[in-house]
Structure 1
Amino acid sequence: MYHDLCEQAGSVDGQSQDFHLYGTVWDLIPGVITSMYQHQREAFEFMWTNLVGDIRLDELKHGAKPDVVGGCVICHAPGTGKTRLAIVFIQTYMKVFPDCRPVIIAPRGMLFAWEEEFKKWDVNVPFHIMNTTDFSGKEDRDICRLIKKEHRTEKLTRLVKLLSWNKGHGILGISYGLYMKLTSEKKSGCTEGNKVRTILLENPGLLVLDEGHTPRNERSIMWKTLGKVKTEKRIILSGTPFQNNFLELYNILCLVRPRFGEMFLTEKKVGRRHYVSKKRQDKFSDKYEKGVWASLTSNVTDDNAEKVRSILKPFVHIHNGTILRTLPGLRESVIVLKPPPLQKSIIRKVENIGSGNNFEHEYVISLASTHPSLVTAINMSEEEASLIDKPMLERLRSNPYEGVKTRFVIEVVRLCEALKEKVLIFSQFIQPLELIKEHLSKLFKWRVGKEILQMDGKIQPRYRQTSIEVFNNPDSDAKVLLASTRACCEGISLTGASRVVLLDVVWNPAVGRQAISRAFRIGQKKFVYTYNLITYGTGEGDKYDRQAEKDHLSKLVFSQEDEFNNVRNMLSKAEMDHCSKLISQDKVLEEMASHDQLKGMFLKIHYPPTESNMVFTYNQIAPELS
């Protein structure tokens, strides 16, 4: 059966290059230019110039220009239409190069967002999602006829989709995890698996990596696997390519342009490679290239950032989100909260647990800073457990007012319900979300799946898409969405929310920006307020400072030459026109901070500066709190 399928899929349907002899690539889809924003139009031409060499069709008759190498990075602020841009590019690229076999690799849940975008824009190109067991109805007929009497298995379904795509029918969508699984090292005696591996590594003519910062660790199997893909026609889509450090950024740039590092080799260094073996040459050049990059980026400041930007400029297209200025507006706040006495004592007792392990310690502090009862979920030694009255804490679990962050959340939700606003609550851990779900159910008599929605890694992507649609529907009963930053902070639209609560502080500033951008994005019709919560005395403030420094570096490098201002805390057009009537006043926060029974939990409410070349840090306000 497998041999027959492969024989059937062995040849691509004969197709001619279906495009005009004259004109530009814009003429391939008449009228599409009018449906795109200015930054998308510029990026569209940028992609054509980088991958092919020109936008004029008469210059493309013989394929890409010989001096064109590698791909490009589309670094547009989250929520500014990168998916739509990529779809238009792929459509036109397939018209010029009908045998190109495009592949989109994305986080699993985002594949359905891509599918929805294909439907929304009525794209008449088959999109085969390898991660689902459903057929789209656009699989190759001859291949489907061969398996008509076969028992449908997940393996067979994937094979039909893969071979239909390989035959030249459509676009392949696959998650990073599944791609890594199917392209793992060759196995002796596994003909079918090796054939699949070969197809996925050698046959794509266009590779699109959505959230392309995902494979950034050079030691990871995923990064190494993507480096083996034959085509150099690659596009990385990422609103936040700078994640933690410049070495990760280097790895990302090497993925999109495999020969990126060679630009750092001098003639002298290249000459030295002549006297060593090929393996030692590669090892030597790789080490040297990284060394030059590390030296260049070791101390990036406002004064020397231009040198790094000049290196990226030829193949990185940047849009910082000025299109978002047309939205009602965004106001981000950092809120330092005072824990009640019991929570404060619990924090002190557990603050050293896991101190030798960064992840474990972060987990402990995050739980304790949200609600004291959550520390019962922590694995402790007998000595550590003896410091905690576990039965007492379990009795307090149902009382949200024993935890300063849970108290804040309950009051925000209460006031937002009166204003008919929806709230989006993010945490990197499941336990705080589960606890808040219990509190909301008990206090407001709300039902899970109706007023309360939850999205985390346990929920199947298909059901997740349904939850997104329900939450964004203004007529639905949904009032709160509890979301895991790991499962839901990238690529999805949650414009139903006008309030975003970030329960914990993470080391990577891109996580917070991505989370906020689920609500503050194209399609949002309300002013968006975000609350970054810090529990005083937990070390979260120091973490916020590290996050702010990384965020500042990202802004320095990924900013347009004439634009250092960031969209965070921007004034909307309405505000600029009517400064005397500042519409960003937060009625919810104002009500809470002035309420006699609530104002005591606020130590400081701060709005970070609007200029991206200014860095607000927690330590700037810490002296005021002591």
Structure 2
Amino acid sequence: MFECVSGLNSAANIYGCILADDMGLGKTLQSITLLYTLLCQGFDVKPMVKKAIIVTPTSLVSNWEAEIKKWVGERVHLIALCESTRDDVVSGIDRFTGPRSPIQVLIISYETFRMHSTKFSQSESCDLLICDEAHRLKNDQTMTNQALAALSCKRRVLLSGTPMQNDLEEFFAMVNFTNPGILGDAAHFRRYYEAPIICGREPNASEEEKKLGGERSAELSGKVNQFILRRTNALLSNHLPPKIIEVVCCKLTPLQLDLYNHFIHSKNVKRAISEETKKSKILAYITALKKLCNHPKLIYDTIKSGSPGTSGFEDCIRFFPPEMFSGRSGSWTGGDGAWVELSGKMHVLARLLAHLRKRTDDRIVLVSNYTQTLDLFAQLCRERRYPYLRLDGTTSISKRQKLVNQFNDPSKDEFVFLLSSKAGGCGLNLIGGNRLVLFDPDWNPANDKQAAARVWRDGQKKRVYIYRFLSTGTIEEKVYQRQMSKEGLQKVIQQEQTDSSMAQGNLLSTEDLRDLFTFHENVRSEVHEKMNCIRCQNSNDTHRSITEGDANQPTNESGQSGHEISDIGGFAEMAGCLHELKSSEKQVGTPLEEDLSNWGHHFFPNSVPDAILQASAGEEV
């Protein structure tokens, strides 16, 4: 990393680097160490960097300022521009860029930099640029990306726990920003790298296509790993408690089934699928289905408001139980708590919270992409008198850290932390909780990974449980499949290639990904069906293999209800109450999350090594 930044690789056209460590591995501290080294050489050595700019999301400006002051004190002169008036920002930038300014480091948000980028046009205004959460630079056409690219500074360090987001083209944008031209232009990259790699990963690819795709992937990996430092959180396995990931497939309720089937068979939706239509309309339909999977209340609100998402739900008021919506003008009343049972996922969540509160002292983080869903979480907590905190896009920057500190304080009686994935997906340390529910999947797997990483971080003392809730047979399983496909692209930035024996169930054809508006009503899990799982030919064989064949051997990872398993002995012990952590317990191996063939596949909750989920599953799971 130091060699890249110092420019010693300039002969190879490498001036910058990407620190692509997973979340929780100290990218901030490593960057501060590098920054201090470059700014403050010895008395007889000229500093390699005089001016440095750190660009970060608005919510992390204060964090960076606090961390630099914590580790280097007053030895580095800095200014942080956060939540200031326009005049304060302008004067702060002028102070930093002044020819004889003593200020060495400027910490500024992406938005503020974009608005005032012309003030950094002088060639001497920056010697080192550090971009935190740099996956924001995945689109080289945005004004922010172009403003930063125009900065006259070759030494660039990008920090990202999730450098591979949606596709290789976005990855190219980040790489090209760091070291312009090293992979050719965008057209060459698409033709030479992206097309063969994607083609070779299709399930129906020929042997020649697979071979060419593998060769181009290896070549791309070799090039980018000259300046990408990639370390996974497997490094934390000796320092953190085990992490158990469980993908919980929940059936829709009768009300959700009626609404789902009515929607996907409506004339408007069929017309949108069969004809060329506006992308915004398709996205609105997708969002409507995702909200329906969370709770029918979100659809009721849409119908009542008459918003664009109403299309496809005509005549649907008749499906709703009148006692739930008997308030003034048909407003929501909740029906004395019975509203919870209108959603399969919400019903399972309510039981999970009840068992956690009664049987453990664990705290839980509930994550959703929609503030309307957070509203329902809040209502559930109020009705059942669970203490809760909430952080979403409306929470001020100054209040966020106070909420985090309150949740992490063991002396406080906090139980639930409600988190918007977009507002709090990065930079937060919520180790006060050791359970986290991803209530709805995001198209971008990095968003879910960022959110899930909030609890498995330095300082965590308990075993961590990550629950991914999916509504069976619905669009949510298709989103999850798409996540798995995107995750498979991570191999191009790994030093070693992933095992070629990875299940074909992870490689989805383009045609599969167009199949968003079909509903597989009678499957236990569409994800599992598409895997063509050899060891789960039918539910009876599955049950026998889990209760008999697997009883005396530890599992590496478990999925559909799945997990990464710790080294704690036999299955009988694992099936008990596991919230007490043994001092000798460690994470085993570094299994790839997207390789679902290596997970344990459970069709019956009583075989899942999580006593709380066993008790909470019910008929929905």
TM-score normalised by structure 1 residue count: 0.71
* Residues 422 and 127 (structure 1), Cα distance of their counterparts in 2 relative to 1, 3 Å cut: farther
Contact 2:7 2:15 in 1 (8 A): no
Alignment partner of 1:112 is 2:75: no
Contact 1:564 1:612 in 2 (8 A): no
Task: Return the alpha-carbon distance in structure 1 between the equivalents of residues 576 and 114 of structure 2.
Answer: 46
Task: Return the alpha-carbon distance in structure 2 between the equivalents of residues 433 and 510 of structure 1.
Answer: 21
Within 5 Å, give how 1:434-513 maps onto structure 2.
Answer: 434-444=375-385, 446=386, 451-513=387-449
Q: Which amino acid aligns with 2:287?
A: Y
Q: Which amino acid aligns with 1:325?
A: S
Alignment partner of 1:90 is 2:35: yes
Alignment partner of 1:369 is 2:293: yes
Task: Return the alpha-carbon distance in structure 2 between the equivalents of residues 424 and 524 of structure 1.
Answer: 14
Task: Give 5+ residue unaligned stretches, structure 1.
Answer: 1-46, 55-63, 134-153, 184-193, 263-284, 590-607
* Residues 352 and 178 (structure 1), Cα distance of their counterparts in 2 relative to 1, 3 Å cut: farther
Aligned to 1:132: 83
Q: Which amino acid aligns with 1:174?
A: I
Using the TM superposition, give the Cα deviation of residue 614 of structure 1 relative to its aligned residue in structure 2, in angstroms: 2.8
3-state SS of paired residue (2:316): coil
Counterpart of 2:197 (choices 280, 289, 297) is: 297
What's the CA shift string for 1:558-606, capped at 9, x where partnerless?
323288799x959999944x434898658489xxxxxxxxxxxxxxxxx
What's the CA shift string for 1:53-97, capped at 9, x where partnerless?
56xxxxxxxxx9777642001111111111111111111111133
Task: Return the alpha-carbon distance in structure 2 between the equivalents of residues 458 and 212 of structure 1.
Answer: 23
Contact 2:392 2:423 in 1 (8 A): yes
Task: Return the alpha-carbon distance in structure 2 between the equivalents of residues 311 and 411 of structure 1.
Answer: 50
Counterpart of 1:81 (choices 9, 26, 33) is: 26
3-state SS of paired residue (1:501): strand
* Residues 456 and 572 (structure 1), Cα distance of their counterparts in 2 relative to 1, 3 Å cut: closer
Alignment partner of 1:387 is 2:350: no
Aligned to 1:320: 232
Within 5 Å, give how 1:164-179 maps onto structure 2.
Answer: 164-166=95-97, 167-179=101-113
Counterpart of 1:311 (choices 223, 227, 230) is: 223
Counterpart of 1:334 (choices 247, 253, 257) is: 247
Task: Return the alpha-carbon distance in structure 2 between the equivalents of residues 363 and 312 of structure 1.
Answer: 36
Contact 2:250 2:472 in 1 (8 A): yes
Aligned to 1:433: 374
What's the CA shift string for 1:314-333, capped at 9, x where partnerless?
10111012222021110101
Structure 1 runs of 4+ aligned residues shifted over 6 Å read 64-68, 562-566, 570-574, 581-584
Alignment partner of 1:403 is 2:403: no
Contact 1:329 1:572 in 2 (8 A): no
Q: Which amino acid aligns with 1:160?
A: S
Contact 2:62 2:82 in 1 (8 A): no
* Residues 402 and 587 (structure 1), Cα distance of their counterparts in 2 relative to 1, 3 Å cut: farther
Q: Which amino acid aligns with 1:132?
A: E
Task: Return the alpha-carbon distance in structure 1 between the equivalents of residues 156 and 175 of structure 2.
Answer: 11
Task: Return the alpha-carbon distance in structure 2 between the equivalents of residues 67 and 381 of structure 1.
Answer: 56
* Residues 395 and 237 (structure 1), Cα distance of their counterparts in 2 relative to 1, 3 Å cut: same
Alignment partner of 1:231 is 2:231: no
Counterpart of 1:614 (choices 582, 587, 595) is: 595
Q: CA RMSD in A?
A: 3.7
Using the TM superposition, give the Cα deviation of residue 348 of structure 1 relative to its aligned residue in structure 2, in angstroms: 2.5
Task: Return the alpha-carbon distance in structure 1 between the equivalents of residues 578 and 259 of structure 2.
Answer: 29
Q: Which amino acid aligns with 2:175?
A: L
Q: Which amino acid aligns with 1:424?
A: V
Alignment partner of 1:255 is 2:255: no
Q: Which amino acid aligns with 2:87?
A: L
3-state SS of paired residue (2:395): coil
Contact 1:98 1:168 in 2 (8 A): no
Contact 1:70 1:259 in 2 (8 A): no
Task: Return the alpha-carbon distance in structure 2 between the equivalents of residues 113 and 572 of structure 1.
Answer: 32
Contact 1:210 1:237 in 2 (8 A): yes
Task: Return the alpha-carbon distance in structure 1 between the equivalents of residues 571 and 602 of structure 2.
Answer: 28
Aligned to 2:551: none
Using the TM superposition, give the Cα deviation of residue 109 of structure 1 relative to its aligned residue in structure 2, in angstroms: 0.8
Aligned to 1:23: none
* Residues 222 and 383 (structure 1), Cα distance of their counterparts in 2 relative to 1, 3 Å cut: closer
Q: Which amino acid aligns with 2:295?
A: H
Q: Which amino acid aligns with 1:552?
A: G
Using the TM superposition, give the Cα deviation of residue 290 of structure 1 relative to its aligned residue in structure 2, in angstroms: 4.2
Task: Return the alpha-carbon distance in structure 1 between the equivalents of residues 342 and 499 of structure 2.
Answer: 42
* Residues 535 and 572 (structure 1), Cα distance of their counterparts in 2 relative to 1, 3 Å cut: closer
Q: Which amino acid aligns with 1:373?
A: K
* Residues 381 and 424 (structure 1), Cα distance of their counterparts in 2 relative to 1, 3 Å cut: closer
Q: Which amino acid aligns with 1:370?
A: N
Within 5 Å, give how 1:37-56 maps onto structure 2.
Answer: 47-53=1-7
* Residues 349 and 294 (structure 1), Cα distance of their counterparts in 2 relative to 1, 3 Å cut: same
Aligned to 2:258: 345
Q: Which amino acid aligns with 2:436?
A: V
3-state SS of paired residue (1:123): helix
* Residues 365 and 127 (structure 1), Cα distance of their counterparts in 2 relative to 1, 3 Å cut: farther
Using the TM superposition, give the Cα deviation of residue 617 of structure 1 relative to its aligned residue in structure 2, in angstroms: 11
* Residues 347 and 294 (structure 1), Cα distance of their counterparts in 2 relative to 1, 3 Å cut: same
Task: Return the alpha-carbon distance in structure 2 between the equivalents of residues 313 and 465 of structure 1.
Answer: 35
* Residues 458 and 381 (structure 1), Cα distance of their counterparts in 2 relative to 1, 3 Å cut: closer
Using the TM superposition, give the Cα deviation of residue 99 of structure 1 relative to its aligned residue in structure 2, in angstroms: 5.3
* Residues 400 and 204 (structure 1), Cα distance of their counterparts in 2 relative to 1, 3 Å cut: same
Q: Which amino acid aligns with 2:4?
A: N
Q: Which amino acid aligns with 2:340?
A: P
Contact 1:424 1:481 in 2 (8 A): yes
Using the TM superposition, give the Cα deviation of residue 472 of structure 1 relative to its aligned residue in structure 2, in angstroms: 1.4
Using the TM superposition, give the Cα deviation of residue 294 of structure 1 relative to its aligned residue in structure 2, in angstroms: 2.6
3-state SS of paired residue (1:433): helix
Using the TM superposition, give the Cα deviation of residue 473 of structure 1 relative to its aligned residue in structure 2, in angstroms: 1.5
Task: Return the alpha-carbon distance in structure 1 between the equivalents of residues 598 and 410 of structure 2.
Answer: 37
Aligned to 2:513: none
Using the TM superposition, give the Cα deviation of residue 492 of structure 1 relative to its aligned residue in structure 2, in angstroms: 1.9
* Residues 127 and 160 (structure 1), Cα distance of their counterparts in 2 relative to 1, 3 Å cut: same
Equivalent pairs, count: 492
Aligned to 2:521: none
Contact 2:366 2:417 in 1 (8 A): yes
Contact 2:292 2:299 in 1 (8 A): yes
3-state SS of paired residue (2:83): coil
Aligned to 1:560: 495
Contact 1:351 1:538 in 2 (8 A): no
Aligned to 2:548: none
* Residues 575 and 293 (structure 1), Cα distance of their counterparts in 2 relative to 1, 3 Å cut: closer
* Residues 294 and 333 (structure 1), Cα distance of their counterparts in 2 relative to 1, 3 Å cut: same
Task: Return the alpha-carbon distance in structure 2 between the equivalents of residues 351 and 579 of structure 1.
Answer: 47
Task: Return the alpha-carbon distance in structure 2 between the equivalents of residues 387 and 613 of structure 1.
Answer: 38
3-state SS of paired residue (1:287): helix
Task: Return the alpha-carbon distance in structure 2 between the equivalents of residues 492 and 335 of structure 1.
Answer: 25
Q: Which amino acid aligns with 1:452?
A: Y
TM-score normalised by structure 2 residue count: 0.71
Using the TM superposition, give the Cα deviation of residue 386 of structure 1 relative to its aligned residue in structure 2, in angstroms: 2.2
Task: Return the alpha-carbon distance in structure 1 between the equivalents of residues 401 and 574 of structure 2.
Answer: 31
* Residues 386 and 573 (structure 1), Cα distance of their counterparts in 2 relative to 1, 3 Å cut: closer
Using the TM superposition, give the Cα deviation of residue 382 of structure 1 relative to its aligned residue in structure 2, in angstroms: 7.7
Percent of aligned positions that are identical: 22
Using the TM superposition, give the Cα deviation of residue 241 of structure 1 relative to its aligned residue in structure 2, in angstroms: 0.8
Using the TM superposition, give the Cα deviation of residue 247 of structure 1 relative to its aligned residue in structure 2, in angstroms: 0.6
3-state SS of paired residue (2:230): strand
